[in-house]
Amino acid sequence: MALTMPEEILLLLLDDETGKPVGLPGPAGDLAVVGAILMELALAGRVDTDLDSLSVVDPRPTGDAVLDGVLARLGALGRARTSRGWIQDIAKGAGPLRTQLLERLVQQGVLRRVEDRFLWVFPDRRYPKAEGAAAVEEVRARLRHVLLDDSIPDPRDSLLIGLARATGLVPLLLSAEEASRAAPRVERIAALEELSRSLGAATRDIYAALMRQGAIH
């Protein structure tokens, strides 16, 4: 079963062995997950977005519980709103969305759920890679190949890379030397898809504002 973009983003945000978040503090990871959800809804023809606004064009459920929950929230307003406004609003409640996606990856056999205790007292739930599951390596390897090769990327990979660029995920895919060398290609790929330019630009604006405020280091 093919993974959705939010699921692939979550896999990039987790350490394969420990199952703990790596690389990005909570706000940045939440922005990446929410951006991926909105991109999936746009690809499914449920929302339309440009540099100024995002609106529901088809309220029919997609059959994906995570996407449909967000779609219902978007439709409840009944009018267009800025992409930036929606991303900020949905990201505030991204915790339950993450949990839904993580539990789904457990059901699919991609991750394991490990219940533990921190300092023997506080509950600590982790999601390490399931034994024999190749999806995590496949996502990372596929995106690395796109970034380090000269081939034309798949549209979905272009969107993922645009989102990775907007939220600082590229260092989770490439070494510092590779990232420096691939920087021009990252920019070109991020500009290939109109959807990446609109949602990616809004997400990057929010990410930059959070960095200025000290919420992301």
Mean pLDDT of 147-166: 89
**Three-class SS of residue 98?**
helix
The Cα 43–Cα 151 span in angstroms is 22
What the block records as the tokens of 80 is: 């267009």
Per residue in 3-60, pLDDT (tens digit) is: 999 999 999 888 877 777 775 556 788 888 999 999 999 999 999 987 678 899 999 9
Per residue in 107-136, pLDDT (tens digit) is: 999 999 988 766 555 667 888 888 766 777
Domain count, the chain: 1
Would you say 163 and 39 are in contact if contact means Cβ atoms under 8 Å apart? yes
Arithmetic mean of pLDDT over the chain: 86
pLDDT at position 26: 63
Containing structural domain, residue 85: 5-213
The Cα 137–Cα 142 span in angstroms is 8
CATH number of the domain that residue 174 is part of: 1.10.3630.10
